[in-house]
Amino acid sequence: MGVFHNARRLVKLIRREIELNRVAGQFNERRANVSVLAALLHDIGHGPFSHAFEEARKLIAERRGTEKKLRKHEAFTADMIRYKSSSIGNILSDAGVEPNEVAELVEAETPEDMYHAVVSSSFDADRLDYVERDRYMTGVGAGAIDCEWLMDNVRVAEIDVSPAGDNGADAAYRHSFCLLYKAREAAEDFLLARYRLYTNVYLHKTTRGFEQLIAALFCLIAESVDRGASLDGLDVDHPLTSFFSKDGETIENYKALDDGVVWGAIHRFAIAGRGATQEIACRLLERRRPYCLDVQLSFPQEPELQRRLKRRLGEEFKGDLNDRVFRDTAKLSLYGEISGDDSRAQKRLMIQLPDGKLKEITDFSDRAIAQSSNERQFERYYFLNESDYTRALAVVAAIRGH
Amino acid sequence: MAIDVPSLVRAAGGEIVGKVRLQKMVYLLDQLGVPTEFSFSYHHYGPYSDELAEVVEDDVIFRRMKAERRRRSDGVPYVVYKTDTTDTDSESVFGQPKISAALQAMQRSSATVLELAATIHWLAFVEKVDSWEAELVRRKGIKTKEGREEKALALLKNLQIAPA
């Protein structure tokens, strides 16, 4: 609902820019409605424990050799919007909006127009929502933003969305949001606030540790389904069993999964499960986090030693990975978590100078924020057993030369 | 054994500009039969390999090649991978005439064209979608315009890995 609210504000802002003749063309009411509804619906395709579920599906697909066709949550969102038996499509049609157009906007990879920027850009409705909401709900002190001041200073400009490095060859321009120079400091605060949410909350070692446990549980369920064996504590027609069965990734099966269903299974595993399944379920219910060894924190500012540690841990626990030992990696830049070659072009925050030219926010000599090109690595090993953790600490000590 | 990325950069003239260009070049080389041993999955800019990204980071940290940071005229940052070109290994796979010619053709293309070429190949041969043309436009939108899709297809034909 917060994203929906912000989307409505951004659409009004687009109307304002057009009425003030700062952007050429007519305001497109139909397209505006599509973007507002796409913002409202953009996350309905998340599975239970969203990140952990997607991560587990990736591991399961790699083991099954089906990773090339792995569908991400955006694809499920689009399917749910298009799905004939769903009430969503009917509601959208009644509102005069074509469901397929909403689904296409949610799925669009490459910036299309300023209405797409409401859903995906450096200043999209989702970001504006979660930066404030997650900070409030988690109680993180750092990272206040001046949303009103930012909104006042948002403009629409043509932004090059091609990969950087070609000196203008094959530049591809699309309308998106930028911020006026006078709001540069507020824009820096906005990016920094999001960065701090990543370091303090989303990528916190305990958060990620519990996500690893939940992902491991999903993998164990899929493994037992692949073996044709029933998992103690889980009915054969349980939604999780159905979803992880061959050709089970249907919309119907996906819709049957939510956090409540998974928590129910976790309780059953804790009572009637066996081995790793029961151990992980009990850990989750009793909030017993796994042991964590953080590669970067073991050798701060020493990338060579971090790499050596990573390699040695990889060798030491090769046979135990995804069994008793879990490896978690993430890359973070000022523009958020990076998955793939680079941050998405439309997520770069551009500042509009008084002469109308654009400049990327980290390219100012007096910037207060770090260069966005500096990626920060997060690599952690998680252990269910203290003995494995002790072995890992011995590897750290050996690299330190103790 | 996976390919040696600094040797690839050397064979490509001592410089590969941008992560997107490097990733798509290695993906296309893989399709040409170069045993890269990297596995690829589909990401925002097309086929991408986490393993390759990790090897590249290792090569930079252990100073087997340089990663120079530059900026576009609008300030957008990017990285340039560089090696010296003094000891080009003509015995390596990159010294083979077919591969060497492919590297030159890829270096003459823009990163966007490489992104499109790798994506066309992925859609046609890996995802095996019904119509790669329609799916390419759906995913890449504006990037397919102004002759770029045609250039990408011409590159694949030149490399002899174009879909029928």
Report pLDDT digits (tens) over B94-136.
Answer: 888 899 999 999 999 999 999 999 999 999 999 999 999 999 9
Q: Which residue of A has its CA nearest to B152?
A: A170
Which residues, at least 6 apart from A62, have a Cβ–Cβ distance to it below 8 Å? none
- Segment A65-81 shows an average pLDDT of 86
Residue A144 has pLDDT above 90, yes or no: no
Q: To which residue do tokens 């404030």 refer?
A: A132
Cβ distance A162 to B110 less than 8 Å, yes or no, reads yes
Amino acid at B105: A
Question: Which chain A residues are Cβ-neighbours of B142 within 8 angstroms?
Answer: 110-112, 161, 172-174
Q: What is the ipTM of this complex?
A: 0.85
- Segment A212-222 shows an average pLDDT of 94
Domain ranges of chain A: 1-120, 205-288, 290-338+375-402
Q: Give first-to-last CA distance, chain A, whole Å.
A: 55
Question: Which chain A residues are Cβ-neighbours of B139 within 8 angstroms?
Answer: 109-110
Question: Which chain B residues are Cβ-neighbours of A371 within 8 angstroms?
Answer: 69, 77
Nearest CB partner across the interface for B127, out of A68, A350, A377 = A68
Give me the CATH topology for the region A205-288: Growth Hormone; Chain: A; (1.20.1250)
Nearest CB partner across the interface for A363, out of B71, B80, B148 = B71
Interface with B, mutate which of A341, A352, A363, A375 (most B CBs under 10 A)? A341
Binding-face residues of B in 115-144 toward A, CB within 8 A: 115, 126-127, 138-143
pLDDT digits 0-9 by tens, A54-71: 999 998 998 888 877 788
Question: Which chain A residues are Cβ-neighbours of B12 within 8 angstroms?
Answer: none
B26 or A402, higher pLDDT:
B26
Burial of A247 (0-12, 13-18, 19+ CB in 10 A): exposed
- The per-residue b/e assignment along A12-43, b for 16 or more CB within 10 angstroms, e otherwise, is ebbeebbeeeebeeeebeebbbbbbbbbbbbe
Tokens for A270, please give them: 């804790």
- Give me the total of CB pairs closer than 8 Å, taking one residue from chain A and one from chain B: 132
What span, in angstroms and rounded, lies between the C-alpha atoms of A123 and A154? 9
Please say whether the beta carbons of B25 and B12 come within 8 A.
Answer: yes
Q: Which residue of B has its CA nearest to A113?
A: B142
Helix (H) or strand (E) holding A74: helix A73-82
pLDDT digits 0-9 by tens, A244-259: 998 899 989 999 999 9
Question: Which chain A residues are Cβ-neighbours of B38 within 8 angstroms?
Answer: none
Amino acid at A317: F
Question: Which chain B residues are Cβ-neighbours of A169 within 8 angstroms?
Answer: 110
Q: Which residue of A has its CA nearest to B47?
A: A340
What span, in angstroms and rounded, lies between the C-alpha atoms of A125 and A2? 8
pLDDT digits 0-9 by tens, A295-354: 999 999 899 999 999 999 999 999 888 889 999 999 888 877 776 666 777 788 899 999
Question: What's chain B's average pLDDT?
Answer: 92
Question: Domain A1-120 carries which CATH code?
Answer: 1.10.3210.10
